[in-house]
Chains A and B, each alone.
Chain A
Amino acid sequence: MAIIERPGTGTTPVVATPQQTLGAVKRPVETKGWREWLFTVDHKKIGIMYGVVAMVFFIIGGVEALLIRLQLAMPDGQILSADKYNQMFTMHATTMVFLFAMPMAGAFANYFLPLQIGARDVAFPRINALSLWLLIIGGLVLNASWFLGGAADGGWFMYAPNSGPIFSPSHGVDFWVIGLQIAGVASLLGSINLIVTVVNMRAPGMSLMKMPVFTWMILVVQFLLVFSLPVITVALVLLMLQRSYGATFFDVSQGADPLLWQHLFWIFGHPEVYVLILPAFGIISEVLPTFARKPLFGYPFVVFSGASIGLVGFGVWAHHMFASGLGPVSVAVFSVATMAIAIPTGVKIFNWLLTMWGGKIWYTTAMNFAIGLVVLFTIGGLSGVTHSVAPSDTQQTDTYYIVAHFHYVLFGGMVFGLFSGFYYWWPKVFGKMLNEKLGAWNFWFMVIGMNLTFGPMHILGLQGQPRRMYVWTEARAGEGFFNLGFWNLIASIGSFILAVGVLFFLINVVITARSKKQAPLDPWDARTLEWLTTSPPKAHNFDRIPVVHHLDEFFHRKYEEDTATHTMKKVAEGEDLVRVEEEAADAHIHLPSPSYWPIVLSVGVGLLGLGTIYGIPMIVLGFAITLFASYGWILEPSVAEEIDFEPSNNDGNTKEIAPLG
């Protein structure tokens, strides 16, 4: 919020809000109620909103998954029609990837990246808000299709000809294209913002090799996004021009190469896989050392293996296309590249194992989820390596074996990492601890549910059950151990156990929110800078910008080496350290001021996109709003003028100076 804080007496600083700044129009000054959230540029509020939005879409995508499993639980399922089933699996995947996984990683990145590098906000706070609102608009456009003639139904990678008007006559794919395009712009802006933040806004002394691993992994992810999103943008533009304006880019009957779409999609799509998993790797690289009470084993290896996963990730996309007749040379090259990428991933696994080795492990829920990730991701990783062998991949392609593989890496890997992050950082964000007992229920239901759901899919896939079939018949289900009916039923039961696990988490959130009990300042004896402030952090994050001397700066401020025994001895508590910071608080902290323009601009862009479906007038309207908001934006200083912060200079408009709660 736009506040200035002067160190008051002792530890209660004083705040004043700007009163009258004019940009193109009067800028918002509210610090209370819904306006506080709608027009905020505070990275922490934006992070929380990312999290809420992502969680809503997680539930929507989860319900879609349950409907799919209900349909397949029994032979000749009657829950969904073939058409609805196609929409369901397409939207389940799209929602989970673009509207849950990426925004949830964005939530963590937005909230913790500035805190971990000792900054007061991101480099471009208004662009940060714009990213959030564009994401929300994109998600709404995607899901609006359910009510406007049917959702997209071509599978999440939307291959031609399924994406064409003959096989997908509804507007579903159009909404899908526009929604992803807008969400893509949001991610692109967000990634540029976060890279600049990491490069330019680190606290004094924080060299790149003193950055927490989570920040490192987020940085790698943002580079992947910056350089892969434009490729899907091209693909989506071509598809949009084909569907709405008569081009034939992917239409074989007009002499086109449908493989062009596959290349463009997977040049984006494979780096995207690492975009999804690396944030989770970053989270558990914070969680494992904290709860093993040992520094991360081989920090530089974890960092560089992450970076090399990112780089090599751009050279393996065609392994998604082995079954499309690329030719032996291409297949061989991409096979080898794909096997190579397993090496840095394996390096990480061993680093985590050796971090835990010999540590005094504290089995909290956060730690359980982190260990769960290491185990389940390894299973998924191993089945992934089998795809790199092209002949075996040819058998596995488009079967449930693939579905099993990517759910082990994405659910067992990514989702477990995110849940580990929830439990680890909840006290930081909300000042209250999530209930550990419910956390245990949450964890075990999710572990058991996830293995029951996705484990049998390996068998189903190798037995030949194709993915995306809306129904199976008893007559072809096979017998004995390999009976498809039995394993389909197990998978469906598993999915509901999984859902109950997630429900435990939601219950936990509600119970925690109602509880009055405040969390201790440093409940986990943590290691990184985000803990060097109050919980929840103050609007300006740090009372003074910390000067960094060590990797794991917060840990090294608490502990000193006992020269006699060569062990680390605790010399200060977190509370002491925060008190020291409060007493030395900076005198004048100007934070970026809230703004109307991000949300207005995002509405304009949304209308501009929908115009490709609903015609020129809407494009014109969208363009006008976009242009108007852009000028408002440019003409508005990102921080309110000095005079607005000083109520005493504000003739006849003096407001009471309120103490900060």
Chain B
Amino acid sequence: MAETATHTADHASEHGHETSTGLSNNKLAMWLFLGSECLLFGGLISTYMLYRGRVSDGPHPMAIFDIPFTSVSSFVLLMSSLTMVLAVTAAQRGDDSRTNLWLTITAVLGATFVGGQVYEFTAFIREGLGFSTSLFGSSFYTLTGFHGIHVSVGVLMLLSTVGIIRKNKITGNKAEVVEIVGLYWHFVDVVWIIIFTLVYLIPS
């Protein structure tokens, strides 16, 4: 995603005037993308809300959700936002080793969350909720699966950032790259905040 600004913009800033608004192109693009993602997840969440009570012959949501387990994995994802923000401040201080440390911890927490999700899915399938068992099943797996893919992509981005910083191959402003990866990561976290409440905690 992150692309360095065109050189013409860099060139302009060398001469004292920056982009028209003084804002970074990359950050602006990321925020726009996240604004757009709101409508993507909104659609998937709405589909789930509409269909969550339609269980056909399959299990009912409340019968299979393991709230304590999901609470723990939600907590893990929430805390990964803290480690992410610590990576961002470290990057802004120019502290590469701390940046890499916090990025790695964030990635590990994210991977733990994805691992938990894989475990949860297999448990649900064992209990009789396949992808095509019922509308509830399809919409549940679609929503949480989409979120899981987003987290996985995030983990990949975090680890890649660590690798690129290590090899000193970063193109563009290092602190900004970390910050932008962070924006994506936090967004994935806030989406889960909503999913956790609407999907797991509110019974249908």
Contact = CB atoms under 8 A, between A and B. Distances in A.
A643 interface: no
Contacts of B4: 637-639
Interface stretch (A200-208, A318-326, A387-395, A570-578): A200-208
A245 B202 CA distance: 28
B8 A637 contact: no
B3 A199 contact: no
A545 B25 CA distance: 19
A126 B142 contact: no
Contacts of B134: 254
B56 A255 contact: yes
A592 B47 contact: no
A170 to B, nearest CB: 22
B32 A195 contact: yes
Contacts of A228: 39
Given A230-B40, A639-B7, A192 B54 contact: no
Nearest to A588: B11
A40 interface: no
Interface stretch (A116-124, A347-355, A551-559): A116-124
Interface string A236-259: 011001000111110000111100
22 contacts: A123-B25, A123-B29, A196-B28, A199-B20, A201-B19, A226-B32, A231-B39, A231-B43, A234-B47, A238-B47, A245-B131, A247-B138, A248-B138, A249-B47, A249-B138, A254-B56, A254-B134, A256-B51, A260-B47, A635-B171, A638-B6, A638-B171
Listed residue (B7, B19, B25, B160) with the most chain A CB atoms within 10 angstroms of its CB: B7
B7 A192 contact: no
Nearest to A205: B20
A127 B3 contact: yes
B91 interface: no
A589 B9 CA distance: 11
Given A125-B6, A638-B171, A241 B138 contact: yes
Contacts of A231: 39-40, 43
A635 B44 CA distance: 34
**For this complex, into which size category does the number of interface residues on chain A fall?**
35 or more
A636 interface: yes
Interface in A504-538: none
Interface string B1-36: 011111111111000010111010100110011011
B19 A200 contact: yes
- If over half of B's interface residues share one DSSP class (helix, strand or loop), that class is named, otherwise mixed; here it is helix
B164 interface: yes
Interface string A631-656: 10111111100000000000000000
B6, B19, B32, B54: most-surrounded residue (chain A CB, <10 A): B6
A255 B37 CA distance: 28
Interface residues of B, number: 46
Residue among A124, A196, A590 with the highest chain B CB neighbour number at 10 A = A196
Nearest to B32: A192
B126 interface: no
B36 A638 contact: no
B23 A200 contact: yes
Contacts of B20: 199-202, 206
Contact of B36 (A119, A226, A246): A226
A634 B39 contact: no
A202 B22 CA distance: 11
A166 to B, nearest CB: 16
A372 to B, nearest CB: 35
A201 B5 CA distance: 11
A86 B77 CA distance: 49
A120 B47 contact: no
A247 B142 contact: yes
Interface string B130-157: 0110110011001000100000000000
A193 interface: yes
A264 interface: yes
A227 interface: yes
Given A255-B54, A590-B11, A635 B138 contact: no
Interface in A586-640: 588-592, 631, 633-639
Contacts of B139: 249
Given A201-B19, A202-B20, A631-B160, A230 B3 contact: no
Interface in B19-78: 19-21, 23, 25, 28-29, 32-33, 35-40, 43-44, 47, 50-51, 54, 56
